[in-house]
Structure formats: structure tokens, C-alpha cells
């Protein structure tokens, strides 16, 4: 049997094993240690899927509106920040500066939301169950290849967020103790470890785009 990492696409083949992780050939998936992680992106076992499984059927739903009024100020700040990065790549310095100003403005207006790790995990799981199928359907209906590509990246990042939150519930601060946390500036991929991968396993940009998160 073969199992595929839903984050970076790495394939674990039971017949071949994983020599980079010192897993010998003919090691069944269920025999892998519970703390075994993807040798490419560091994702845990629970994000892997059987290679033979068919993709779930598309969920028919109402098309998404262009703007959701329920977005909070912090989400708007992140959106403007991403738009600024897009403008920078197109050498639109003036537009990038304006978007950065908007991002800073919305960040100052953001109100911290009360909650805990379980609340955040519930939201992530709801997004994966409801939001992404609806967004994919909307992109299919609009024949929007750009949106479909972004959704592929975004869903992979959301799944790594889900796996990290589940690990944090068990390990608490030990998850990030004596190590570093990196975030890809392009797609948002999160990596926990001393040294980031040479390329982002989601969007394939070089490692210098994976920025270390500063801790207060």
C-alpha cells in the first residue's frame, strides 16, 4: 500500500519503506511509530491518505459571495497584506504601499477574540468540511483556474494547521519548546523545527521565503 502526504505530496510506499527516516522496506503503515512524520514537510501521520482512495465528490452548494461581511478586522489586515505582496511582485510599489497602510490600519482595529485551542480547531475543521468544498465548487462553476490553484495551496496549509493544533492539545508548549517556528510568506505553510526545508513543500518557493516567527 502507498500513503500520500496531503501537505506536500510525499508518498510512503510500504514496500520501499522510508530510508531517510530509517524505516526499512516492507514496513506496514500501521507499524510506523505514532510520532513518525513526513520526511519532507514534517507533517504527522494523520494527514496522510491512502493513495488508492478516490477524491470525495464535489459538494454542491450556493456560490460564495465576493465579500463576507462577517470577516473580522484581523482577516481584513491579512487580506490587504497579501494583496500588498502581490503588488510588490508586479513592481507596483505605490499600490503595495497603500495596501500595507490598510493592513496596518485594520490590525490596529482588530479586537482579540476570546477562545481556546479547541475553539480554533473547531473552526479549522469546519472550514475544511464546509468552506473549501463550497469554494472549490464556486471556482469550478466560474472556470477560475487561479482560484482553484490558490485553494489547493490554502487547503494544504489548513490541514497542517489542523495537525499542529491537534499536536498542541497533547504536547502543549513542548511542541515549540527549544525549537523554531517558520511561516511561508507566500502560502502560509507552517513548519516547526530548527531548520526549514530547502523549498516550501506547498508552493515550492525557496527557503528564504520561510520566515522565522519572532516570540515575545
Nearest to 39 by CA among 72, 80, 9, 67: 9
The yes-or-no verdict on residue 216 having pLDDT over 70 is: no
Confidence of residue 124 (pLDDT cuts 50, 70, 90): confident
**pTM, entire model:** 0.60
Query: How confident is the model over 38-79, as pLDDT tens digits?
Result: 888 888 888 898 886 555 444 444 444 444 444 577 778 888
Both 119 and 164 in a single domain? yes
Of 40, 75, 39, 44, nearest in space to 169 by CA: 44
What's the chain's average pLDDT?
A: 82
Q: Does 61 map to a domain?
A: no
Residues 36 and 81 in one domain: no
The total of structural domains in the chain comes to 4
The residue range of the domain holding 103 is 71-113
Amino acid at each position: 500500500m502507498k500513503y500520500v502526504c496531503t501537505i506536500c505530496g510525499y508518498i510512503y510506499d510500504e514496500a520501499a519503506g522510508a530510508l531517510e527516516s530509517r524505516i526499512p522496506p516492507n514496513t506496514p503503515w500501521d507499524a510506523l511509530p505514532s510520532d513518525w512524520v513526513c520526511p519532507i514537510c514534517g507533517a504527522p501521520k494523520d494527514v496522510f491518505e491512502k493513495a488508492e482512495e478516490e477524491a470525495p465528490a464535489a459538494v454542491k452548494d450556493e456560490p460564495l459571495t465576493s465579500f463576507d461581511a462577517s470577516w473580522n478586522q484581523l482577516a481584513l489586515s491579512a487580506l490587504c497584506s497579501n494583496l500588498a505582496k502581490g503588488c510588490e511582485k508586479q513592481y507596483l510599489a505605490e499600490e503595495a504601499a497603500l495596501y500595507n497602510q490598510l493592513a496596518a490600519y485594520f490590525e490596529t482595529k482588530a479586537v482579540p477574540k476570546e477562545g481556546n485551542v479547541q475553539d480554533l480547531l473547531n473552526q479549522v475543521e469546519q472550514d475544511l468540511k464546509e468552506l473549501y468544498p463550497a469554494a472549490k465548487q464556486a471556482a469550478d462553476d466560474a472556470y477560475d483556474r487561479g482560484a482553484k490553484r490558490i485553494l489547493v495551496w490554502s487547503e494544504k496549509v489548513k490541514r497542517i494547521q489542523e495537525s499542529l493544533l491537534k499536536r498542541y492539545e497533547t504536547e502543549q508548549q513542548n511542541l515549540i519548546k527549544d525549537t523554531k517556528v517558520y511561516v511561508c510568506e507566500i502560502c502560509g505553510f507552517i513548519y516547526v523545527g530548527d531548520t526549514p526545508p530547502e523549498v516550501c513543500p506547498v508552493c515550492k518557493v525557496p527557503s528564504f521565503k520561510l520566515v522565522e516567527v519572532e516570540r515575545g
